[in-house]
Amino acid sequence: MLLIYFFVPKPWKEAVKEAMFAAGAGRQGEYSMACWETAGRGQFLPGEGAQPAIGRRFSLRRVREFRVEMICEEKHAARAVQALRRTHPYEEPAFGIIRLEDPATQFPLTKSHGADPHSTDAAEQPSMKESPAERSS
């Protein structure tokens, strides 16, 4: 599984997300169109050969942008990145891809987390509905 993140100005955010969702990003199990986003401010200085979608060459521009993150199976990654590049307004959109590992295979649950992973006794396992305070009483 991969995590694709990118930065996009607000007016284009929904169009880029929709294109990436249509390409297969943002899906896990029975869930689709899943992403996380946060607002921020980006800046750039277009050079001589640039054709900026926002601002002018040789003029520092600060833009309200969003960082959007979505998971993506490797088999859909190339199409998702193509969709990002096709719908993003910038000539060179800023994005990255991070490979996600399954932590359960590297960091198994231990007693220090409140459960014995080797126990088959349901009474020894904490209830998902109980808070830590309820379990200690």
Same domain, residue pair 52 and 111: no
Helices (H), the chain: 10-22, 74-87, 103-106, 132-136
Domain of residue 123 covers 105-136
Same domain, residue pair 63 and 89: yes
Same domain, residue pair 82 and 112: no
Domain total for the chain? 2
Higher pLDDT, 134 or 7: 7
Same domain, residue pair 131 and 84: no
Backbone angles phi, psi at 105, to 5 degrees: -80, -20
Same domain, residue pair 6 and 38: yes
Question: In the structure, what pLDDT confidence band is assigned to residue 28 with cuts at 50, 70 and 90?
Answer: very high
Beta bridge partners of 127: none
User: What does pTM read for this prediction?
Assistant: 0.74
Q: Each residue of 82-137: pLDDT tens digit?
A: 999 999 999 999 999 999 987 776 666 555 555 555 556 555 555 555 555 555 55
Same domain, residue pair 131 and 67: no
Same domain, residue pair 69 and 79: yes
Same domain, residue pair 13 and 31: yes
